[in-house]
Amino acid sequence: MGDLTKNISRSELSCNCGCGSDSIDYETTVVVQDACDHFAEKLGVERVTLTITSANRCFKYNRSPAVGSNDNSQHPRSRAMDIKIGGVYPSDVYSYLVDKYPGKYGIGKYKSFTHIDTRSSGPARW
């Protein structure tokens, strides 16, 4: 399959272990595409460059030393993406998402990327 949205291609969603798992929650794609559209408008460009560093992960890879996460992660549930938007600091992406979705989702700020997940268990911030 090809493009899911203007900025998201199915090929970018696969588990990094090579198992072929590539599902993603529709709501997650909507939130990420919204962030891309927001920053494209802010930067005055038609389309930003989106890099998805991690999306779907199988449980085995998620637990592996390479990742070191646990079974509570939203990545194996196909509800999370770690993203970089070209020309935008991760802290700015984080701030936009926190402001837009104050009572929803899991949103994390890291040095080189922003995490977004569409968990249903209430908001989480880090």
Q: What are 3-51's pLDDT values in tens digits?
A: 899 999 988 999 999 998 999 999 999 999 999 999 999 999 999 999 9
CA 95 centroid distance within chain: 15
Percentages (nearest 5) of helix, strand, coil residues in the chain: 35, 20, 50
Confidence of residue 2 (pLDDT cuts 50, 70, 90): low
Pair 49, 85: CB distance under 8 Å: yes
**pLDDT tens by residue, 47-91:** 999 999 999 999 999 999 999 898 889 999 999 999 999 999 999
The pairing of beta strand 106-109 with beta strand 124-125 = parallel
Residue 98 identity: V
CA distance 105 to 97: 9
Pair 66, 47: CB distance under 8 Å: no
In the chain, what are the domains?
A: 10-125 (3.30.1380.10)
pLDDT of residue 98: 98
